[in-house]
Chain A
Amino acid sequence: MIQVNNLTKYYDSFCAVDGISLEIRQGEILGLLGPNGAGKTTTLRMLTGFFKPTSGTIKIDDLEIPKDTLEIKKRMGYLPESAPLYHNMLVFDYLTYVAKVRGLAKEDIPGRLQELSGLCGLADIMHKSIDALSKGLKQRVGLAHAMMTDPEILILDEPTSGLDPNQIAEIRAIIRRIGKKKTIIFSTHILSEAEATCDRIVIINQGKMVADDTTENLKHRAEKGTTFSLALYGETGKAPIKLLNTLDADLDIRQVAARETGTSLYEVKTGSSRDFRKDIYLKIKETDWVMAELTRESQSLENIFQELTKGA
Chain B
Amino acid sequence: MHQTIHIATKEFKDYFISPIAYIVISLFLVITGWFFFSTFFIFDRADMRNFFALLPTIFSFIIPAVTMRLFSEEVNVGSYETLMTLPVSFRDIALGKFLAATAFCGCMLLPTLSYPLFISMIGEVDPGPVMGGYLGALLLAGAYCALGILASSMTRNQIVAFILGAAICFALTILDRVLFFIPPSLTELIGFLGTNTHFQSIAKGVIDSRDILYFLSVMFLGLFGTYLVMQEKN
Which residue numbers of A lie inside 8 Å of B, CB to CB? Answer: 45, 48-52, 70-71, 73-74, 76, 78, 80, 82-89, 97-98, 100-103, 142, 145
Q: Is the Cβ of A88 less than 8 Å from the Cβ of B14?
A: yes
Give complex CA distance A45, B79 in Å.
14
**CB pair B87 A80 closer than 8 Å:** no
Given contacts A50-B234, A101-B7, are A88 and B85 in contact (CB under 8 A)?
no
Q: Which of B62-110 contact A (CB under 8 A)?
A: 77-82, 84-89
Pair A74/B87 contact, Cβ less than 8 Å: yes
Interface footprint category on B: 20 to 34
Task: Determine whether the beta carbon of A51 is less than 8 Å from that of B87.
Answer: no
Checking B6, B77, B78 against A101 with a beta-carbon cut-off of 8 angstroms, the contacting residue is B6
Name which of A45, A101, A103 has the most chain B CB atoms within 10 A of its CB.
Answer: A101
A17 to chain B, nearest CB (A): 14
Given A50-B84, A84-B82, list of 4 further CB < 8 A pairs? A84-B81, A87-B77, A89-B14, A102-B87
Would you give the shortest CB distance from A137 to chain B, in whole angstroms?
16
Alpha-carbon distance between A103 and B86 when the two chains are bound, in angstroms:
10
Tell me the interface secondary structure of chain B in the complex. Answer: helix
CA distance A38 to B84 in the complex (A): 23
User: Across the interface, do B88 and A101 meet the contact criterion of CB distance under 8 Å?
Assistant: yes
Q: Do A73 and B79 touch across chains, with their CB atoms under 8 A apart? A: no
Contact A85 B85 (CB under 8 A): no
Is residue B114 within 8 Å, beta carbon to beta carbon, of the partner chain? no
Residue of A nearest to B3 (CB): A101
Which residues of chain B are within 8 angstroms of A45 by Cβ–Cβ distance? Answer: 81
Known contacts A52-B234, A101-B87, A102-B87; A82/B78 CB under 8 A: yes
Instruction: Please determine whether A70 and B87 come into contact, CB atoms closer than 8 angstroms.
Output: yes
Residues in chain A near residue B80, CB distance under 8 A:
84
